[in-house]
Chain A
Amino acid sequence: DAGITQSPRHKVTETGTPVTLRCHQTENHRYMYWYRQDPGHGLRLIHYSYGVKDTDKGEVSDGYSVSRSKTEDFLLTLESATSSQTSVYFCAISTTTGELFFGEGSRLTVL
């Protein structure tokens, strides 16, 4: 599992509330990613990080922010959750040769 854990694994929240998802890795990988998975859309990149305090936007970054204050933790925040953000969120790390390994996923439902 490449030492990746996500929390929470399941969350139900209401529209307008803030939500933070946490990704924790134990193998000191430089690159970390947040993807969302929706039917018919595959896996779409939200944000990624290439080091502590170094982050960049992906293809669907609107409404999301990220932070990486330590190598092992990459946080995804929805400042004000909307129903369109109901999804399964996957954290991933990349090895030095480019292989991507995913966490177990976090299922978020916004009512």
Chain B
Amino acid sequence: GENVEQHPSTLSVQEGDSAVIKCTYSDSASNYFPWYKQELGKRPQLIIDIRSNVGEKKDQRIAVTLNKTAKHFSLHITETQPEDSAVYFCAASIQGAQKLVFGQGTRLTINP
């Protein structure tokens, strides 16, 4: 079945710098790749997603890139701010089923 690996598990960056989180997946038939942000004590919330027919998608300071050949996708956050501190999860769809498999999560800390 689908397996999603996420790196790094923790990431600390200076405010204003960029942060990159990477995920790899195993099922070449996966076609939907969302990213979730979870603040402490809160539910995971969808922040951006990408489908297999595009290579990059941007929404203000966040962007996601997808390389289907290499089976990896990445989250890029530019001009980081303290409110970006959270745990981020990537996920990949399971072919033939409306299900997602999640990565292990990355704890991002923005240092002032």
Docked pose: A42 CA to B104 CA in angstroms = 4
Picked from A48, A58, A104, the residue with its CB within 8 Å of the CB of B43 is A104
The residue in A43, A58, A104 that gathers the most chain B C-beta atoms within 10 A of its C-beta is A43
When distances are taken between beta carbons in the complex, the residues of chain B under 8 Å from A43 are 44, 89, 102
Contact of A102 among B9, B45, B98 (CB under 8 A): B45
Minimum distance in angstroms from B31 CB to a CB of chain A: 9
**Cβ B102 vs Cβ A44 within 8 A:** yes
A44 to B89, CA, bound (A): 12
Are B102 and A42 closer than 8 Å at their CB atoms? yes
**Chain B residues with Cβ under 8 A from A101's Cβ?**
46
Q: Is the beta-carbon distance between A48 and B102 smaller than 8 angstroms?
A: no
Chain A residues within 8 Å of chain B by Cβ, number? 23
B100 to A, closest residue via Cβ: A100
Number of B interface residues at 8 Å Cβ cutoff, please give it: 22
Q: Bound state CA distance, A98 and B92, in angstroms?
A: 11
In contact, A45 and B99 (Cβ under 8 angstroms): yes
Q: In the complex, what residues of A have CB within 8 A of residue B102's CB?
A: 35, 42-44
| Interface: A31 (CB within 8 A) | yes
Q: Measured between C-beta atoms, what is the minimum distance from A34 to chain B in Å? A: 12
CA distance A106 to B98 in the complex (A): 23
Closest to B32 in A: A98
Give chain A residues whose Cβ lies under 8 Å from the Cβ of B1.
59
Closest to A94 in B: B98
Across-interface contacts of B89 in A (CB, < 8 A): 42-43
Which residues of A lie under 8 Å from residue B42 when comparing CB positions?
104
Complex CA–CA separation, A90 to B103 (angstroms): 16
Residues of chain B from 18 to 53 with CB closer than 8 A to chain A in the complex = 32, 34, 42-46, 49
Residues of B within 8 A of A (CB): 1, 6, 9, 32, 34, 42-46, 49, 89, 91, 93, 98-105
